[in-house]
Chains A and B, each alone.
Chain A
Amino acid sequence: MHELSVTQNILEIALRHAQQAGAVRIREINLVIGELSSIVDDSVQFYWDIISAGTIAQEARLNFVRVPAKLRCRQCGHEFALGRNDYVCPACGSFAVSVVGGEEFYLDSIEVDLAEPQPGPGQTP
């Protein structure tokens, strides 16, 4: 699997957005991962601990929100979970389906510490 390159992408995105916001530390990273986007949480966390070392994202917690795969029948509109061995709609028996959930694969948000505001003129730190 390709968790290392995925983890590098997560770090790059998180650092870029943290920098834009002027953050000094990233505390948490919220990821939304669909069931169909095959990725192993433990493996990402393993690589994360290595590649985030020495960055402001070191020791950040990775939160994985998992989205189950969901299908929608194109005949009757019924929505159902991805079954094991067929794609037949349990409501009407049609096998014309669309995938409407489970493909998510994005970094939703980060929790950061912002830099302390610089003391203005005349103020004593």
Chain B
Amino acid sequence: MSNKIPVVENILNANDQLAEEVHRRLNQAGVLAVNFMASPGGGKTSVIVRTVRALMDEVRIGVMDGDIVDLDLRELAGMGIPVSLINTGGECHLDANMVYRALPSLNLDALDLLIIENVGNLICPAAFKLGVHLNVVIASVPEGDDKPYKYPQMFRGADVLLLNKMDLQEYMGFDVEYFRRGVEALNPGVTFLPISCRTGEGFDAWLTWLRAQINGRGAAK
């Protein structure tokens, strides 16, 4: 005899529960965790390096990097900040379990800000919660202005959206208004900051935003 058993359980339930555990540990340590997502070549590492350089004298920063080699971490390690490579073995995203297992590799109590660099991909990372406090999505001008329309999940989940490589806008015919409308449609009121990692354009606004998040963390919890 065949019987139907109702289940109604989210397929990623196990990940979501681990993400909650990660979140608890981060809060216990009093560290603000920020997840950086972008396509490969969008500028995650460059933005992180420039951000760390600007803030490292005032904020205690650690970086976790989901990657297959430690190339991106060498420059940061050379600057003397604690770094941890999450070797993804070619996976298309970080998940809560990878972050959970990497937590002991950093002394969280000695950090104010934990930067997590996700795998370069605009699809899969959006589906896996990590337990962080904030999601930063970096888009870049050469990728084209239609990205919010192709990857709604990624752009919906952003707490701040950085549009990088603005120094190339005049050469690429990138329609900032069309791009911004796509973001605003799905994620109304999201902080939208055009920047250029190369020239430094817009970085003051980004750093001001990030400082406010770090300072406001205690109140927000």
Contacts and interface: CB of A to CB of B under 8 A. Distances in A.
A96 B185 contact: yes
Contacts of B124: 1-2, 38
A77 B95 CA distance: 35
Given A84-B149, A86-B182, A13 B2 contact: no
A109 B7 contact: yes
Given A1-B124, A95-B184, A95-B185, A31 B11 contact: yes
B50 interface: no
A69 B146 CA distance: 18
Interface string A13-51: 110011001010001000100001110000000000000
A108 B7 contact: yes
A36 B152 contact: yes
A74 B184 CA distance: 12
Nearest to A97: B185
A87 interface: yes
A1 B4 contact: no
Interface string B48-59: 000000000000
B5 A18 contact: yes
A85 to B, nearest CB: 6
Given A2-B124, A109-B6, A114 B1 contact: yes
A45 B10 CA distance: 18
A84 B116 CA distance: 32
B5 A112 contact: yes
A29 B59 CA distance: 50
A107 B1 contact: no
Contacts, number: 99
Interface in B79-131: 91-93, 95, 123-124, 127
Contact of A21 (B5, B8, B10, B152): B5
Contacts of B71: none
Best-buried of B4, B12, B127, B185 by chain A (most CB within 10 Å): B185
Per DSSP, chain A at the interface is: mixed
A55 interface: no
B13 to A, nearest CB: 7
Contacts of B123: 38
A105 B11 CA distance: 6
A87 B150 CA distance: 11
Interface string B1-44: 11111111111111100000000000000000000000000000
B188 interface: yes
Interface in B181-221: 181-182, 184-186, 188
Interface of B: 1-15, 91-93, 95, 123-124, 127, 146, 149, 152-153, 156, 181-182, 184-186, 188
7 contacts: A27-B2, A36-B153, A85-B146, A105-B12, A105-B127, A111-B3, A111-B4
Given A108-B7, A111-B5, 9 more contacts: A2-B91, A6-B12, A9-B15, A23-B3, A74-B188, A87-B185, A97-B186, A107-B8, A111-B4
